[in-house]
Amino acid sequence: MKLPRNFFKPLAIGAPAPYRELPVRLERMIHFVPPHMEKMRAKVPDLAKQVDVALGNLEDAIPIDAKEAARSGFIEMARNVDFGSTGLWTRINALNSPWALDDIIDVVAAIGNKLDVIMLPKVDGPWDIAYLDQLLAQLEAKHAIGKPILIHAILETAEGVKNVEAIAAASPRMHGMSLGPADLAASRAMKTTRVGGGHPDYMVLADPEGDKPRAGYQQDLWHYTVGKMVDACAANAIKPFYGPFGDFADLAACESQFRNAFLQGCVGAWSLHPTQIAIAKKVYSPDPGEVAFALKILEAMPDGAGAVMIDGKMQDDATWKQAKVIVDLAKLVSEKDAEMAKVYGL
């Protein structure tokens, strides 16, 4: 294991010092753009105003014969668009693919100073993070990149889930993690054919009562993995995200899946279709009623200690901390979104 005193040292001479705290950023949705398509690239200047993070996807869903076009298309879009406070990310190909090395080398060389985060798919263990960490430090030094490029892992292999805590703790370059339910289902040999969401057969059947029809209650297939991911991330002060929801027509199910993840501790989700941007905005911005109540708690307990009753409910140090999470998030949303600032009264 690396010595604690070496953990925050740059891994190459001339690379920027790793962050000790993650930059504070609103990342309610990571919006996926297929950068090999000119029509899609043309929408990015507008899109950058609507989303919190714009991600150029180089991995799955990009046809093999378009891998190079996606890489150069991403570089072009990164160069030409002013992203303002919107995050600029890319999802590179998996480290065992023939494209990953050129993805990393070409993208960092061309637009490393604009790139916030590299999303790394199919992460099996901390060794994958260590490889990318070292390579990024060398490239940052070579190209005089001013701030560290962060790594976001996709949790989408059974081995990755087994090693999730070591992955979260692997490097100060870790930004967070997303659940990748499609690849994870395949890796685990789950008997589904979906990209995220529930399954009608994954349910608990109510006890029999004579001849009455028995109710069945659908359960959340992803509860265990999201819980495990949230704990690994929270324990290491990095950010957990729900990943993709593939049924673009089922807005209600998408919202419900995003919301379960939000309530469990996730801070955002992927949007693969424009309709999912609004869903993520709604779900991952705190509810105005909750914000109003949280503000009351903070006001009633200025030093965050003791116990008070508000609307018949007991509040103490622990609810004060929960209220602070909600109010801090509402403030972050308000900085980006003047309409929400009015709704929250902030």
**Residue ranges binding ligand GLV (CB under 6 A):** 60, 121, 154, 156, 180-183, 195, 243-244
Dihedrals φ, ψ of 218, to 5°?
A: -65, 140
Report the chain's C-alpha Rg in angstroms.
21
Q: Does 128 bind Mg ion (CB under 5 A)?
A: no
Identify the bridge partners of residue 177 per DSSP, sorted by sequence position.
Answer: 153, 240
User: What are the CA-CA distances from residue 97 to residues 93, 232, 305 (Å)?
Assistant: 6, 27, 53
Residue 70, binding choice from Mg ion, ligand GLV, none, Cβ under 5 to 8 Å by partner class? none
Smallest separation, CB 164 to ligand GLV (Å): 15
The residue (of 276 and 319) whose beta carbon lies closer to ligand GLV is 276
Q: Does 180 bind Mg ion (CB under 5 A)?
A: yes
**Is there a contact between 106 and 140 (Cβ–Cβ < 8 Å)?**
no
User: What are the CA-CA distances from residue 299 to residues 307, 309, 321, 326, 334 (Å)?
Assistant: 13, 12, 13, 14, 19
Within residues 8-67, the interface with Mg ion by CB under 5 A covers: none
Smallest separation, CB 122 to Mg ion (Å): 7
Smallest separation, CB 181 to Mg ion (Å): 8
Using the rule CB under 5 A, give the single segment among 103-111, 141-149, 174-182, 268-276 that binds Mg ion: 174-182
Q: Does 183 bind Mg ion (CB under 5 A)?
A: yes
| Cα–Cα dist 178/344, whole Å | 28
The residue (of 124 and 156) whose beta carbon lies closer to Mg ion is 156
Q: Does 124 bind Mg ion (CB under 5 A)?
A: no
**Is there a contact between 198 and 220 (Cβ–Cβ < 8 Å)?**
yes
DSSP 124-158: -SHHHHHHHHHHHHHHHHHTT-SSPPEEEEEE-SH
The residue (of 87 and 181) whose beta carbon lies closer to ligand GLV is 181
| Cα–Cα dist 123/95, whole Å | 9
Residue 145, binding choice from ligand GLV, Mg ion, none, Cβ under 5 to 8 Å by partner class? none
Site string for Mg ion, 153-172 (x = CB under 5 A): ---x----------------
Of all residues in the shown chain, the one whose CB is closest to Mg ion is 183
The residue (of 141 and 190) whose beta carbon lies closer to ligand GLV is 190
Q: Does 126 bind Mg ion (CB under 5 A)?
A: no
Smallest separation, CB 182 to Mg ion (Å): 5
Which amino acid, residue 36?
H
**CA dihedral angle for residue 171, residue 177, residue 181, residue 186, rounded to 10 degrees:** -10
User: What are the CA-CA distances from residue 158 to residues 3, 35, 164, 270, 292 (Å)?
Assistant: 29, 29, 10, 21, 41
Residue 26, binding choice from ligand GLV, Mg ion, none, Cβ under 5 to 8 Å by partner class? none
The residue (of 119 and 291) whose beta carbon lies closer to ligand GLV is 119
Smallest separation, CB 122 to ligand GLV (Å): 8
Smallest separation, CB 279 to Mg ion (Å): 20
Smallest separation, CB 2 to ligand GLV (Å): 29
